[in-house]
Amino acid sequence: MPVPVILGQLTLGLVNGSFYALLSLGLAVIFGLMGVVNFAHGAFYTLGAFAALLGLQYLGINYWLALLLAPLAVGLLGVLVERLLLRHLYGLDPLYGLLLTFGLALIVEGSLHQVFGATGQSYPVPESLGGAINLHFMFLPRYRAWVILASVVVCFSTWFVIERTRLGATLRAATENAPLLQAFGVNVPLLVAASYGGGVALAALAGVLASPVVLVNSHMGTELVIVVFAVVVIGGMGSILGSIVSGLVLGLVEGFTKVIYPEASNIVVFVIMALVLIVRPAGLFGRE
Amino acid sequence: MRLSRWTIALCAVGLIAARPYVARAAGDQVVIGDIDDMSGVYADVEGAGGVEAVNMAIADFGGTVLGKKITVLTADHQNKPDIGASKFREWADQQGLNLLLGGSNTGVNIAMAKVAAAKKVPFITIGAGGASLTNEDCTAYSVHYVYDTTALANGTATAMINAGGKSWFYLTADYAFGTQLQNAASKVVEVHGGKNVGAVRVPLGAADFSSFLLQAQASGAQVLGLANAGTDFSNSLKAANEFGITRTMKPAALLVFITDIHSLGLKTAQGLYLTDGWYWDLNDETRAFAKRFFAKMNRQPTMDHAGAYSAVLTWLKAVKAAGTTDPDKVMAQLKKDKINDMFAKGGYIRADGAMIHEMYVMQVKTPQESRYPWDYYKLIRKMSGEEAFGPITGVCPLAPK
């Protein structure tokens, strides 16, 4: 295989890996801090993309503002979901949370399908990110380069906040021993609601980032979220750093598969998941 | 224990007693079924709009045939062959089904054709494209009405070669339809002295096409053959534009519906060659149908919507002419009649089940050329039915060469 081809596929793999990393990060935050397996994650990603699209069509909100507002709006919706529905299921088998969020995902997707149909709509690439950069081995559209940059910055700042700051320490304490933390005067329910909202906002952010790349339609999240779950399992359920690193790495692996044996490109992640589960059941970065 | 045994026995009696009643009820009416993708990726191509078109046809026919009321059953096959086949079987056994319309998805339609043969129910494929439906998978009760992979390839591939695109690389959806489409196009390219450089098989519903597109570009071929459909087609063309691949390669869309162009926008789709079985803006008759359809569905009809309307009318006319819903007599009548309506002029159903009618090679307009909403295509060339669908291949035992 010629070197330019390898470099080209590496770059594209990194773009896809960026989406995986952002989405699996949100899932890992929610699972790590709350123990909820959030099957509605794909639906929130789709909602993020639709929020950007409708904001542009009806309110004239541009891409950069949407990047801020759409995750905020969807994150608030997440807080509502946590306060009204999810919180009643704490202390029960995690299966209940999974079923609830799965049901939510079906409702969201079904409603979007009903209103907007199946074919999807185009979101224009913002003017300032149009065109391509000549990397000599390939032409990389500026927008895709921006996706990599944005994702890496967001992922590592989230990791930093949770693992290295006082706020993050409080969040982690809430998961370890909530009653004790509450005894110190910390509002634990608020913290939990905020972390669900935060995780969901990350999914919405990925949705906004994806909207100029793919057609915005009601199915876009369903297809992606299954792969992302495999990414989280490989990285180790609840491991923040694990989800980021395995997201990026699996994007690269998938990119190579697309050249070597394209027919297998949509199952390679699952094959790796099976292998990892056999060798290290807690995932690559998980604690046993 | 004793009680439960009694309950079971009672239930069994109830079931046996109910059967003749259902069959009798079905005898007072004529039943048309429509099994299609109602909620998935192909739902906009036919789906609910197809049901609307069927109802329009029945209303235009007067709502009754042979003095019996016409009823419509619909089901969602969810793109799963087993669901489509078992629903068809159920309606044939219990509802007295007289005609089934097969919606999108070649795989599901192949499964349903087998049921049509076993249950002797006329089966008209509308939305699916695989030409195998009138070749290795043909039955005495099948009709393939709107378009097939052979006609698509003959239209688009020939147009591309005439425009100078001699060497081809394919992006192929990795299932029955994609492979049949690629094979059909490859044959046309070879016949015209072109060259098939290579192909990459892309899993259905891939999230990102850029990697496959770079492989296509690296092949050095002049034409990018898109042997896929729906969202896969739209996303691959969008990415081809973004990566500047359309500057060095000409994209050839082997199956496009007007809904795809609507969602992509003319800026991305302009200049694209495609083959269509029907277009809403062809003449006054098509525009009149489109206007009525638009009033109900708030979008322009695809060729499948128009085809569903025409197929139901054609079948009802055949039933009226034959004076019976007997499947063999109606099939014989169908293969005798000429089809003249807003969908087809002088169309006819061949022995292998292919409905032979004109097809249209179109080019997508530029944003400047488009003057009103949904003004998307300009007609490049009309193909006669014989040219589009080609000669009988002899693969179907009903139609020897």
**Contact assessment for residue B106 and residue B133, using Cβ atoms and an 8 Å cutoff:** yes
Beta bridge partners of B29: B69
Average pLDDT over chain A, rounded to whole? Answer: 90
Question: Containing H/E element for B273?
Answer: strand B273-276
Contacts of A13 in chain B (CB under 8 A): 211
**Contact assessment for residue B134 and residue B146, using Cβ atoms and an 8 Å cutoff:** no
How many other CB atoms are found less than 10 A from the CB of residue A58?
8
Q: State whether A214 and B210 contact (CB < 8 Å).
A: no
Q: Is A122 on the interface with B (CB under 8 A)?
A: yes
How many other CB atoms are found less than 10 A from the CB of residue B123?
30
* Residue B365 DSSP label: P
Q: State whether B44 and A259 contact (CB < 8 Å).
A: no
Which pLDDT band holds residue A199 (cuts at 50, 70, 90)?
very high
pLDDT value of position B281: 95
d(CA B110, CA A147): 42
Dihedral angle of Cα B38, B171, B269, B248, to the nearest 10 degrees: 170
**Chain A: nearest CA to B235, how far in angstroms?**
6
Which pLDDT band holds residue A238 (cuts at 50, 70, 90)?
confident
Contacts of A255 in chain B (CB under 8 A): 211
pLDDT value of position B323: 94
Burial B22-46 (b: 16+ CB within 10 A, else e): eeeebeebbbbbbbbbbbbbbbbbb
What is the value of ipTM here, to two decimals?
0.82
**Contact assessment for residue B53 and residue B32, using Cβ atoms and an 8 Å cutoff:** no
Q: What is the mean pLDDT of each run of 10 residues along chain B (401 residues)?
A: 47 44 60 93 90 96 95 94 96 96 94 96 95 94 96 94 93 90 94 94 87 90 93 91 89 93 92 94 96 95 97 96 95 94 95 96 95 95 94 92 80
Nearest to B259 among A9, A12, A119 (CB): A119
Q: State whether A8 and B265 contact (CB < 8 Å).
A: no
**Contact assessment for residue B219 and residue B239, using Cβ atoms and an 8 Å cutoff:** no
Contacts of B238 in chain A (CB under 8 A): 122, 213-215
Question: Taking Cα atoms as reference points, which of B253, B258, B249 lies closest to residue B281?
Answer: B258
Cα A138 from chain centre: 27
**Chain A: nearest CA to B36, how far in angstroms?**
14
Residue of A nearest to B199 (CA): A262
pLDDT value of position B26: 52
Contacts of A143 in chain B (CB under 8 A): 242
Q: How many CB pairs under 8 A join A and B?
A: 100
pLDDT value of position B4: 52
* Residue B68 DSSP label: E
Q: State whether B207 and A224 contact (CB < 8 Å).
A: yes
Mean pLDDT throughout A216-229?
Answer: 88
Q: Is B174 on the interface with A (CB under 8 A)?
A: yes
Q: Is B46 on the interface with A (CB under 8 A)?
A: no
> Considering only A207-211, A282-286, B99-103, which range has the smallest mean pLDDT?
A282-286
Contacts of B46 in chain A (CB under 8 A): none
Q: Which of B182, B242, B374 best tests the A interface by mutation, with the highest count of A CBs <10 A?
A: B242
pLDDT value of position B261: 94
d(CA A236, CA A172): 17
Phi-psi region of B291 (alpha: psi -120 to 50; beta: other; left: phi over 0): alpha
**Chain A: nearest CA to B231, how far in angstroms?**
6
Please report where in the chains the tokens 């700051």 appear, as a residue. A165
pLDDT value of position A288: 58
Contacts of A237 (CB under 8 A, 6+ apart): A28, A31, A32, A282, A283, A286
Q: What is the pTM of this model?
A: 0.84
d(CA B28, CA B68): 6
Edge-to-edge strand list for the sheet holding B142-144: B64-65, B68-76, B29-36, B97-102, B123-125, B142-144
Nearest to B244 among A16, A125, A132 (CB): A132
Residues 210-249 of chain A whose Cβ lies under 8 A from any Cβ of chain B = 213-215, 217, 219, 223-224, 227
**Chain B: nearest CA to A285, how far in angstroms?**
26
Contacts of A265 in chain B (CB under 8 A): 202-203, 206
Dihedral angle of Cα A145, A150, A151, A154, to the nearest 10 degrees: 160
**Contact assessment for residue A39 and residue A98, using Cβ atoms and an 8 Å cutoff:** yes
Q: Is A126 on the interface with B (CB under 8 A)?
A: no
pLDDT value of position B183: 94
